[in-house]
Structure 1
Amino acid sequence: MAYVNPSGEFTRDQRYIATRITADGRDGYPVEPGRYRLVVSRACPWANRSIIVRRLLGLEDVLSMGVCGPTHDERSWTFDLDPGGRDPVLGIERLQEAFLARFPDYDKGITVPAIVDVPTGKVVTNDFAQITVDLSVEWAKHHRAGAPQLYPAALRDEIDSVNEVVFKDVNNGVYRAGFAGSQEAYSTAYARLFERLDWLSARLEGQRYLVGDTITEADVRLFTTLVRFDAVYHGHFKCNRQKLSEMPVLWAYARDLFQTPGFGDTIDFGHIKRHYYEVHRDINPTGIVPDGPDLSGWLTPHGREALGGRPFGDGTPPGPPQPGEAVARA
């Protein structure tokens, strides 16, 4: 399976299933506790967003979660972590089965995160950007007591503006560098990435969070790229002007979030490294997964408390991960 675009610039296929699960059910899928299953892989940064948001908002009891293994083939993600290789709720071996159940001729990417309608076994949506926003807005009735406002109405325009440039230059920017098929395309992506990281460093030097004084959707989206930077993007994707740990402001910001309940406790560095180094064989033909880097620095003091801010606003941190959802630490 090839990922590099031999003609030059990598372009992400963004043809996602736009169906939404809403409070009023206007797309035919109303919010209902226990009806849907969020399918993720801890390796994937796009899926990691939904894992974090679900946990911060306390939706575990109303939206179950199926976890795929860290690798996949051309046919899609598999439930190889589960007994018998089948998801215990959906009863399927591959996420592909849920997509084909709804769209028998489906010809687009079978991606995580995806939300599946349990009674029918059919995928509802894999629109990762909309999924987390809807968890904040449409599922509000089912949030835990003390859940933070990750997408507050008064800040939505600013959050959307920040998210747009971060997606183009950072979230997707690392892929544009890593999957470039020409020197020119790579160099362009590399320059855009680090110009944006410098912009983010300047923005975060005097404020604890990206928008306002609390954690928002914008922080979740940036974090899932930063947490993978040194482990994968710096070497595997050739984003090597500096490691994250050599960018003082962003390194402290990322550690602050990592040490915040709901962020670092969703991260499985083993899965992350296995996915990129084993799956992208056109970049790493041997499939060898590096032993490094040393990841112990994520738990060192960050000093960001001095900037003030209230991580959860008027709310409270989430409790510990539910049984069966905790990430094993090496």
Structure 2
Amino acid sequence: MNITSQFPRESINGAFKRQKSIYRELISSNSIYKPEKQRYHLYLSHACPWAHRTLIVIALKNLESVVSTSFVHPIRDNKGWNFESQNSLYYDIINGFSYLMEAYKIMDSQYDMRVTVPVLWDKQTEQIVNNESSDIIIMLNNEFNQFTNSKLDLYPEEKRTEINEINQYIYTNINNGVYKCGFATSQKIYDSEVDNLFTALNKIELRLKDRKYLVSDSITLSDIRLFVTLIR
């Protein structure tokens, strides 16, 4: 398998630059990808905070019987996320892939970028729908309510502007901020990113000083997005 190294690349100035998610189709009643029970499958990793957020939404929305899941082995090698043999916790129950790269190669035989999780897979068309966690958690919240008894709304319409604003701040400075610190290869860049990270953490701590949740009086996607980074 001739592929690029599956570990993050740095930009030329020593700063971490995140690879963009390239599969961004959406599940909706107006899409070719319609909300259906047991049509979709999530490829996840217990080691990955971006995948962790989707797993939390599935649990909170009681969607375990609606969207199936498989987990890659938590230790990634130069070929990327891999699966183990049948009867393992890390077996691909849908396609029997050895490496998650195989799903990406189905979409593009010339694909040579990093393989990332989560991956939302359509069992019907046998292709990737989406590999952007921020899209996936919104779809899990919005599009499968007819299949669950959960009344929880993690992305209430009247709060979406505020949720989107705080999500962007958390992503830039905390979710991605820890990567910008950890993968910096310049001391100057590292020092700057550490300052940015702890400034953001202090700001969020002040926001939560007199409230339990970031946006509303109940949990929203913003709280989940923050939690998966803080817990690590």
TM-score, with normalisation over the residues of structure 2?
A: 0.91
Correspondent of 2:93 among 69, 88, 92? 88
Q: Which amino acid aligns with 1:221?
A: R
Matching residue of 1:52:
56
SS of the residue aligned with 1:189? Answer: helix
Q: Is structure 2 residue 202 aligned with structure 1 residue 198? A: yes
Matching residue of 2:144:
139
Structure 1 residues 103, 97: closer, same or farther in 2, change over 3 A? same
Matches within 5 A, 1:194-273: 194-228=198-232
The count of aligned residue pairs is 225
- Residue 204 of structure 1 deviates from its aligned partner by 0.1
Matching residue of 2:21:
15
Question: For the Cα contact (< 8 Å) 2:107–2:127, is it kept in 1?
Answer: yes
Matching residue of 1:42:
46
Structure 1 residues 82, 163: closer, same or farther in 2, change over 3 A? farther
- Residue 106 of structure 1 deviates from its aligned partner by 2.1
Q: Distance in 2 between matches of 1:49 and 1:90?
A: 23
Task: Provide Cα deviations, 1:154-179, integer angstroms capped at 9, x if missing partner.
Answer: 10000000000000000000000000
Q: Distance in 2 between matches of 1:134 and 1:195?
A: 31
Question: For the Cα contact (< 8 Å) 1:69–1:81, is it kept in 2?
Answer: no
Structure 1 residues 81, 184: closer, same or farther in 2, change over 3 A? farther
Task: Provide Cα deviations, 1:143-201, integer angstroms capped at 9, x if missing partner.
Answer: x3233110000100000000000000000000000000101110111000000000001
Larger Rg: 1
**Structure 2 residues not aligned, in runs of 5+:** none
Question: For the Cα contact (< 8 Å) 1:42–1:48, is it kept in 2?
Answer: yes
- Residue 73 of structure 1 deviates from its aligned partner by 2.0
Q: Root-mean-square deviation (CA), in Å? A: 1.7
Q: Distance in 1 between matches of 2:127 and 2:8?
A: 27
SS of the residue aligned with 1:198? Answer: helix
Task: Provide Cα deviations, 1:203-239, integer angstroms capped at 9, x if missing partner.
Answer: 00000000111000000000000000xxxxxxxxxxx
SS of the residue aligned with 2:219? Answer: coil
TM-score, with normalisation over the residues of structure 1?
A: 0.65
Q: Distance in 2 between matches of 1:187 and 1:82?
A: 45
Correspondent of 2:129 among 103, 116, 124? 124
Matches within 5 A, 1:151-166: 151-166=155-170
- Residue 96 of structure 1 deviates from its aligned partner by 1.2
Q: Is structure 2 residue 185 aligned with structure 1 residue 181? A: yes
Question: For the Cα contact (< 8 Å) 1:22–1:139, is it kept in 2?
Answer: no
- Residue 98 of structure 1 deviates from its aligned partner by 1.3
